[in-house]
Amino acid sequence: MNSNWFKIFLRLNKISYGKGLLLKGIPVIFSKSGGKLSIGNNVTINSSFLSNLVGLSQRTIIVTRTPEAKIRIGNNVGISGTTIYARNSITIGDNTLVGGNTKIIDNDFHPVDPDVRLKTPHANMGIRSIEIGENVFIGCNCLILKGSKIGDNSVIGAGSIVSSEIPANCVAAGNPAKVVRYLKIYKEKV
């Protein structure tokens, strides 16, 4: 089911999206007043159990949580049952595929220090932007944490946890994700 009626809610919530947005199921997409959330052209967001046969455990959730937060999703991106939660900034480049049940989160949700957490549970948490390059493939059930940078053309293996920089043109996997091998990139001659 293509949830075209949901696009009305996106417009009312001042979320910009390009041509060809395909919503399968009903995602949770919300931008805090003042936040910026943009979705490029030809993006597919899978949010129903049958929209991705890897087995989605949730609908897609895309949220800017603060007035300063920014999420930019490029053109030709595919997202399946993924949480994208920003307090600062998350950028996903063109032609990127995000596997089922992945979480992309630019903050710790709460302070790490137990005394601070008791006194101010929603302040003093770690927050750093996330940058995901172009033509990246992120396998299912991955966790992309604050401060992560993933270079163009890279592959993140299923179930990996990324918490640092992954260079371009490589396969990275594990907890924490490490480069497994580099890819040869072939360019067509015109």
Cβ pair 106, 125 in contact under 8 A: no
What are the φ/ψ torsions at residue 73 (nearest 5 degrees)? Answer: -110, 120
Tokens of 150: 């993933």
Give the active site residue among 7, 103, 110, 117: 110
Cβ pair 97, 81 in contact under 8 A: no
HSE-CB of 23 using CA atoms within 13 angstroms: 21
- Count other Cβ atoms within 10 Å, centred on residue 20: 12
Distance CA 167, CA 127 (A): 21
Q: What is the dihedral of CA 17, 18, 21, 27, to 10 degrees?
A: -10
Q: Is 110 a catalytic residue?
A: yes
**What is the set of active-site residues?**
110
